[in-house]
Amino acid sequence: MTSIKYLSSSIALATLLLFSGCGESEKAETKVSNNESTKEQFILKFSHVVSSNTPKGKAADFFEKRLEQLSKGRIDVQVYPSSQLYTDNAVLKALKLDSVQMAAPSFSKFGKIVPQLALFDLPFLFKDNEHLHKVQDGKVGQDLKDMITSKGYVALSFWDNGFKQLSTSKKALIMPDDAKGQKFRIMSSKVLDEQFKILGANPQMMPFSEVYSALQQGVIDGQENTNSNIYTKKFHEVQKYLTITNHGYLGYLVVMSETFWNKLPQDLKDAVIQAMNEATLKEREYAQELNKSQFDLIKKYSNETGKLEIIELTSEQKHAWRQAVSKIYPEFYDPNQIGESLIKGALATE
């Protein structure tokens, strides 16, 4: 009965089209449209913790539009910025439950799951943005993503925050010895702890939200952060010296719910990958533009107030810093920490 009913409906439709004067091309378009509408639809919730006008926020919005285009509307991407759904601390569990389908937490949030991501904390490991992205997009980056994927997530792409600079109010940081005895705020990281200890400095683990007041009150002498973080949190207004070192890196890893990924047919998986690759290129552009524009604002503050001295290291001075802190690399050759192959692989990437 079902086949007869379907056949009757088809004949009726064909008769209607014939008497409506539709040509072959219009009938073909109708058939394609009907086929598309009967395919399964998916909702993809993308949760992140920053505002929509940040590099991560803008790239998430780009991804939303591009994937909806590539999937012809079969994937409805819904972006939730500013921790509207989850904080970074909670989102990894939510991904496991498929309560949210995509997120872009900072590397530090994966520390207990895959400690090898601390590779990006190693000081002076990357020569510049080009070298960094070759590492992320090459074998080393794929090995790290595979480690995350083996833990029940789908690791898609690395997104930038930017390279870190050093600031302080105690003594200008020009040579490595200048850091001796100074108290620097760090986030939770064995690598960063060792980085400052090898310099004779005193690392102080502290939540990001407390850094401004700690600098203002002299609880700590200095900190390390990207230009965009320094400017938006006004750290430059409570510091006397800013040294442009580009010594470390802050970034994010875009991950997807494994449950959601496994539901997708191959053509939609391909669309996700293409949209993510395009969004990654955009995000990297946005991050570079933001760090440059906000460094310009920091320089403007320095010039207008005279309260902040900006120090640009010579190649010889930067080499001295690299030599001093790279001594900690072997301490993380243990594969349960970072691993010798990952560290040497990153250094050898060209």
Q: Is the pLDDT of residue 31 over 90?
A: no
Token pair of 27 as six digits: 């009938």
Q: Which amino acid is at 248?
A: G
Domain ranges for the chain: 36-348
Summarize pLDDT for 316-333 with one digit per residue, the tens: 999 999 999 999 999 999
Model pLDDT, residue 15: 36
Q: Is the pLDDT of residue 226 over 60?
A: yes
Tell whether the torsion through CA atoms of 119, 122, 125 and 127 is positive or negative: positive
Are the C-beta atoms of 164 and 246 separated by less than 8 Å? yes
Helix residue ranges, H only, 162-265:
190-197, 211-217, 227-232, 258-263
Place of tokens 């407390």: 210
Higher pLDDT, 29 or 181: 181
Q: Is the pLDDT of residue 1 over 90?
A: no
Q: What is the DSSP letter of 226?
A: E
Token pair of 198 as six digits: 């090898």
| Mean pLDDT (whole number) for 43-58 | 94
Task: Name the CATH topology of 36-348.
Answer: D-Maltodextrin-Binding Protein; domain 2 (3.40.190)
Are the C-beta atoms of 119 and 144 separated by less than 8 Å? yes
Name the pLDDT band for 224 (thresholds 50, 70, 90).
very high
| Mean pLDDT (whole number) for 138-155 | 97
Q: Is the pLDDT of residue 6 over 80?
A: no
End-to-end CA, the chain: 66
Q: How far apart are CA 246 and CA 171, in angstroms?
A: 19
Q: What is the mean pLDDT of the chain?
A: 91
Q: What is the DSSP letter of 263?
A: H
- Torsion of Cα atoms, 200 then 206 then 208 then 212, to 10°: -80
Model pLDDT, residue 36: 54
Closest alpha carbon to 250 in 214, 223, 278 = 223
Model pLDDT, residue 272: 98
Are the C-beta atoms of 220 and 288 separated by less than 8 Å? no
Are the C-beta atoms of 333 and 340 separated by less than 8 Å? yes
Closest alpha carbon to 70 in 48, 100, 44 = 44
Q: How far apart are CA 282 and CA 348, in angstroms?
A: 27
The count of other CB atoms within 10 Å of the CB of residue 285 is: 14
Q: How far apart are CA 251 and CA 105, in angstroms?
A: 9
Place of tokens 């389908």: 101
Q: How far apart are CA 185 and CA 220, in angstroms?
A: 7
Higher pLDDT, 20 or 125: 125
Pairing of strands 102-103, 75-80: unpaired
Give the list of residues 6+ apart from residue 60 with CB closer than 8 angstroms, or none. Answer: 46, 48, 52, 79, 81, 104, 279
Model pLDDT, residue 38: 60
Higher pLDDT, 21 or 300: 300
Quote the percentage of the chain above a pLDDT of 90: 86
Model pLDDT, residue 39: 79
Q: How far apart are CA 342 and CA 335, in angstroms?
A: 9
Model pLDDT, residue 35: 53
| Mean pLDDT (whole number) for 115-140 | 97
Token pair of 47 as six digits: 């949760």
Quote the percentage of the chain above a pLDDT of 70: 89
Summarize pLDDT for 151-187 with one digit per residue, the tens: 999 999 999 999 999 999 999 999 999 999 999 999 9
Summarize pLDDT for 84-113 with one digit per residue, the tens: 999 988 999 999 999 999 999 999 899 899
Q: Which 3 state secondary structure label does DSSP give 43?
A: strand
Give the list of residues 6+ apart from residue 75 with CB closer than 8 angstroms, or none. Answer: 41, 42, 43, 44, 67, 68, 268, 271, 272
Closest alpha carbon to 180 in 203, 213, 204, 207 = 203
